[in-house]
Amino acid sequence: MIEISHLSKMYGRGVYALRDLSIRVDKGEFVFLTGPSGAGKTTLLRILLCEETPTEGRVHIGGRDLARLSPGQVQAYRRTIGFVFQDFKLIQTKTVLQNVALLARAMGEVSIQQQRRTYQVLKWVGLQHRSNAFPMELSGGEQQRVAIARALVTEPSLVLADEPTGNLDPDLSLEIMNLFRDINASGTTVVVATHDRELIRRVDRRTMTLDHGRLAETS
């Protein structure tokens, strides 16, 4: 699913965020990316989301070479993956339902199946009763569940999450992580970046540890 070979990302003069990183994530896997702050977890996810371009190396996702995508193809590629951010990135002026279905509706996907899918994911994350609420009316855990619902509404084959529990307390974190486990159980590849060792221990999946931009350990 994800093939990264000899990936390096350098900022400024000689400051490497990632250095000669080679990783492979198979289809249907659940992988944790961990490491201390500044290890390169977020940079790696930003490269996978095409927010950053590598200085060296190749990234293939689902057979696509990300370096070869045109700007328009980057947008199309992003629509095929789900991404969950630490700060949720919800549109504050839109309701929960609008946040989840916004892109699909704007692009004209208003089929019955699409609407059903929207309600299904909201129900799945337990927010069907809050569909008309605005993000600021929700708790942090609820907002993150909306973000997860938005990432899943397009039925992506890959879900990337950058510190999805960074702003949540331990109980809510586990709750959110269980959602990711359920997503993975349905066949979706999941990559979660987190520095929460306790959470990783409790979920017990393959873990790649980054340190100073290099792969330090795989367990």
Partner 1 sequence: MHALAYCIREAVGSLWRQRGSAALSVLTIAVAMLVLGAFLLVTSNLDRLMSRWSSAAEFSVYLHDDIGQDQRIALNLMLADSPLVASREYVSKADALARFTRDFPDLAAGADALDENPLPASIEVRLRSGVASADSIEALAARVSAAPGVADVRFDRTWLERLGAIVRGTRWIGWALGAVLILAAVLTVSTIVRLSLHVRRDEVGIMQLMGAPMGLLRGPLVAEGVLHGGAGAILALALLYVGYVAARARFDPVLADIVDPALVAFLPWEFAVALVVGGMVVGCAGGMVAARFVRWAR
Residue 136 engages partner 1 in binding (rule: CB under 8 A): no
Residue 79 engages partner 1 in binding (rule: CB under 8 A): yes
Part of the chain binding partner 1 (CB under 8 A), chosen from 43-51, 116-124, 134-142, 181-189 = 43-51
Both structure tokens of 48: 């996978």
Q: How many CB atoms lie within 10 A of CB 29?
A: 16
Q: What is the dihedral of CA 197, 189, 66, 216, to 10 degrees?
A: 30
Q: What is the C-alpha to C-alpha distance for residues 105 and 71, in angstroms, rounded to an integer?
A: 22
Part of the chain binding partner 1 (CB under 8 A), chosen from 46-54, 180-188, 194-202, 208-216 = 46-54
Q: How many CB atoms lie within 10 A of CB 125?
A: 24
Q: What is the dihedral of CA 27, 204, 126, 100, to 10 degrees?
A: -40
Which one of 90, 149, 192, 200 is in contact with partner 1 (CB under 8 A)?
90
Residues numbered 142-201 forming contacts with partner 1, rule: CB under 8 A = 150
Which one of 108, 113, 136, 171 is in contact with partner 1 (CB under 8 A)?
108
Part of the chain binding partner 1 (CB under 8 A), chosen from 56-64, 97-105, 111-119, 190-198 = 97-105
For residue 208, give the amino acid letter: M
Which one of 77, 119, 124, 134 is in contact with partner 1 (CB under 8 A)?
77
Residue reference for tokens 């659940």: 30
Which residues contribute to the site for partner 1 (CB under 8 A)?
Answer: 49-51, 53, 71-72, 74-80, 83, 89-93, 102-103, 105-108, 110, 150
